[in-house]
Amino acid sequence: MAGASQFPIPQRPDTGRRATAESPVAKVLLVGITLVFFSLFLLLPLFVVFQEAFSKGLGVFLKTFRDPYAQDAIRLTLLVAAITVPLNTVFGLAAAWSLTRFRFSGRSFLITLIDLPLWVSPVIGGLIYILVFGSKGWLGAWLSDHGIRIIFAVPGIVLATVFVTFPFVARGLIPLMQAQGISEEEAALTLGANGWQIFWRVTVPKIKWGLLYGVILCNARAMGEFGAVSVVSGHIRGKTNTMPLHIEILYNEYHFAAAFAVASLLALLALVTLFLKTYSEWRAAEQLKQL
């Protein structure tokens, strides 16, 4: 009794907010900064891209895409994505599978290594291939003797893009597969399913949204990559120019409306990607909740 009256529990002033919540002033300030930043650095550029693209009217906009060089650039970008994305999807699946299903020494180092392309500058991603396959590179003499062109040609662009987009699928899958565990696969095994059946009937349905998420990000980066591709491409119009490189050339030659027109196509792709990404992310989270 005495103890209770000697040490009364101090009452928190009732301000109607949780102890960890910020003061109203800080709240307004933080939200304000976020909004300003968001509009200045994200919304405004996006708006400018579309505005500039149509600044000389719809006619000029459409004419840009009738230019054979522009069409070649779009075709090459689609080709590179069509090779890169399936390659990295298979690689990402294999990597995520082996890194989450098996315990071996060096495993966490490998998980770190997968991220490497995200840390190094894309320019380095391009340069390493020049060092290996370029005319003065390790394999350069042998390749030119056999009439194989990799640098300043499509294979080099594909290699550089594969390097840069390497981590996306694996990174999307590893945390998901780690959280899901393997008990459903084991159950399928005891029910008489073979490896192939387990993969298609149990594993793929479990990870499909996470997989889609990774594939979408991989595709967006593959189509948008500038730095690594720029190093190995050689900028040969109609041959080794991708969309981002084509935009740069148009811009440097003062074809602003045309440059922005092609850029608006890439920006549109980014918006579609964003939508698909958000959707697949949401579905992947739903799938995790079912555990």
Q: Enumerate binding residues for other proteins (CB under 8 A).
A: 183-184, 186-194, 197, 201-202, 205-206, 287, 290-291
**Considering the complex, what minimum distance in angstroms separates the CB of residue 289 from other proteins?**
8
Helix (H, G, I), strand (E, B) or coil at 3: helix
**Considering the complex, what minimum distance in angstroms separates the CB of residue 156 from other proteins?**
42
Half-sphere exposure of 233 (CA within 13 A, CB side): 26
Looking at the Cβ atoms of 136 and 289, the one nearer to other proteins is 289
Looking at the Cβ atoms of 65 and 282, the one nearer to other proteins is 282
Give the contacts of 15 (CB within 8 A, at least 6 positions apart). Answer: none
Q: Please check whether residue 180 is in contact with residue 288, taking contact to mean a CB–CB distance below 8 angstroms.
A: yes
Looking at the Cβ atoms of 202 and 218, the one nearer to other proteins is 202
Looking at the Cβ atoms of 22 and 186, the one nearer to other proteins is 186
Give the Cα separation of 206 and 75 in Å (integer).
34
Q: Please check whether residue 176 is in contact with residue 113, taking contact to mean a CB–CB distance below 8 angstroms.
A: no
Specify the DSSP element, H or E, that contains 235.
Answer: none
Look up tokens 């400018």; give the residue.
48
**Considering the complex, what minimum distance in angstroms separates the CB of residue 137 from other proteins?**
44
Looking at the Cβ atoms of 187 and 272, the one nearer to other proteins is 187
**Considering the complex, what minimum distance in angstroms separates the CB of residue 120 from other proteins?**
35
**Considering the complex, what minimum distance in angstroms separates the CB of residue 286 from other proteins?**
10
Give the Cα separation of 211 and 89 in Å (integer).
8
